[in-house]
């Protein structure tokens, strides 16, 4: 592993300027961006942010923008292979960490990363880790590794009581993992006082302490997100939940999250008490979802009750805003075209939005005169409006699908609350 000339936790004017710029554009990468619980972040100790990992590189960008503070991250080591990538990622304050799939001889290098991570915490720079180890576009959690716990325990021992060590649980809730300019709700949970936990459980073995911290963190993050068990019923439960909350405006992110949680609880309770009926319901909703995808109709198009009025409104808006769109699209043409070309090259769709965000941040910010003009964002919003308008027109002629949507909506709404 290469040795850096300066510690990764040291700040620079260039990094601070880039951090400010990135935070600004990260917020604008979402039509509705909101962070809840920011006031819970402790001011009296060393912080380790731990978040769910559901949208690839968009997750660290989202956590980075919570408070604009310097944060050091870890990422899988294979993306550091080239000299240029290593330099860029190191500048972005990202450390490489090896996994078992990289081979035992490489996993040994993880000890060096653990030590550097502890150095970061010791020097009052926030550290961030995604304990699942890899991203997955699901409202669920993968099993946690021990990296987070080892860093927290190591930092506690290194600091020897000089300051409190906290794990700050963070939940990232996206309305859509693949649509640029969707919505993002960040929930910051109650911090876990690592120092207090270790001191109160001093009789426990090191392995039990590590396991305990891992369990506490997993439970804390689960409380900040919409959690759906990852089993054979995940997709129908998620689809039914989306149907149940489809009429809540996207800007009401906290309300949508709570409504989704309530729907999931009712559905899981229904499945437990009525397994046969639940199986039939789940098969029915998946058949509906398959049919509406085949018809190329967005699930959002079914939500409006007065579909004719809604369609007239968005069609009028599409036509009225077209002159402004042509100007915005022309001004930002090199930016969004480059972003889309790069996005098409990437095979994993989860990486496309972070790539769009990074491209627009770098290219649009170079045009200092236009930096305050939201042309590329308006362009993407217009693209989305056009997509929704086309989907809504197709939906106007899908009578059977609309009837089925209303039936499913009523079924989910009538399910009894969980005990």
- The alpha-helical segments, DSSP class H, found in 224-274 are 234-244, 253-273
Q: What is the mean pLDDT of residues 346-372?
A: 80
Cα separation, 361 vs 211, whole angstroms: 40
- Among 61-70, 72-81, 254-263, 377-386, the range scoring the smallest mean pLDDT is 72-81
Res 102 pLDDT > 60 = no
What was the pLDDT predicted at 1?
A: 41
What was the pLDDT predicted at 283?
A: 98
112-170 confidence digits (pLDDT tens): 788 888 888 888 889 999 999 888 999 999 999 888 999 999 999 988 888 899 999 99
Res 400 pLDDT > 50 = yes
For residue 154, give both structure tokens. 């190591």
Percentage of residues in the chain with pLDDT exceeding 70? 94
User: Which one-letter DSSP state was computed for residue 32?
Assistant: E
Right CATH for 13-222 from 3.40.50.1580, 3.40.1130.10, 3.90.320.10, 2.30.42.10: 3.40.1130.10
What was the pLDDT predicted at 372?
A: 63
As annotated, the residues of the chain forming the CATH 3.40.1130.10 domain(s) are 13-222
**178 three-class SS:** coil
Contacts (Cβ under 8 Å, ≥6 apart) of 246: 299, 300, 302, 303, 409
Label residue 3 by pLDDT band (50, 70, 90).
very low
9-29 confidence digits (pLDDT tens): 887 888 888 888 778 788 888
């Amino acid at each position: 592993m290469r040795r850096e000339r300066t510690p990764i936790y040291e700040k620079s004017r260039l990094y601070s300027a880039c951090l400010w710029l990135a935070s600004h554009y990260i917020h604008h990468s979402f039509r509705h961006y909101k962070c809840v619980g920011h006031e819970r972040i402790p001011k009296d100790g060393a912080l380790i942010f731990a978040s769910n990992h559901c949208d690839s590189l968009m997750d660290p960008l989202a956590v980075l923008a919570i408070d604009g503070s310097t944060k050091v991250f870890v990422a899988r080591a294979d993306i550091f292979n080239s000299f240029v990538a290593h330099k860029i990622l190191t500048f972005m304050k990202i450390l490489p960490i090896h996994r078992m799939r990289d081979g035992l001889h490489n996993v040994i290098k993880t000890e060096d990363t653990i030590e550097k991570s502890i150095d970061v915490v010791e020097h009052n720079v926030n550290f961030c880790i995604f304990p699942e180890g890899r991203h997955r576009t699901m409202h669920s959690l993968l099993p946690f590794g021990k990296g987070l716990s080892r860093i927290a325990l190591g930092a506690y021992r290194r600091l020897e009581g000089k300051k409190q060590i906290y794990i700050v649980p963070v939940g990232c809730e996206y309305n859509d993992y693949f649509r640029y300019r969707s919505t993002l709700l960040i929930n910051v949970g109650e911090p876990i006082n690592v120092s207090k936990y270790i001191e109160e459980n001093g009789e426990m073995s090191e392995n039990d302490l590590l396991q305990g911290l891992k369990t506490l963190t997993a439970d804390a993050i689960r409380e900040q997100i919409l959690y759906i068990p990852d089993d054979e019923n995940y997709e129908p439960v998620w689809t039914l939940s989306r149907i149940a909350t489809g009429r809540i405006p996207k800007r009401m992110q906290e309300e949508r999250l709570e409504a989704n949680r309530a729907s999931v609880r009712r559905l899981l309770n229904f499945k437990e008490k009525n397994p046969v009926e639940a199986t039939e319901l789940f098969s029915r909703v998946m058949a509906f979802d398959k049919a509406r995808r085949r018809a190329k109709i967005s699930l959002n198009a079914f939500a409006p009750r007065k579909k004719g009025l809604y369609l007239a409104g968005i069609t009028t808006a599409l036509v009225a805003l077209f002159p402004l769109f042509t100007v915005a699209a022309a001004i930002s043409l090199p930016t969004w075209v480059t972003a889309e070309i790069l996005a098409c090259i990437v095979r994993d769709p989860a990486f496309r939005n972070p790539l769009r965000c990074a491209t627009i941040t770098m290219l649009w910010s170079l045009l200092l005169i236009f930096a305050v003009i939201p042309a590329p964002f308006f362009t993407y919003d217009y693209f989305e409006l056009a997509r929704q308008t086309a989907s809504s027109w197709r939906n106007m002629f899908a009578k059977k699908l609309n009837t089925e949507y209303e039936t499913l909506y009523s079924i989910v709404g009538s399910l009894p609350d969980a005990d």
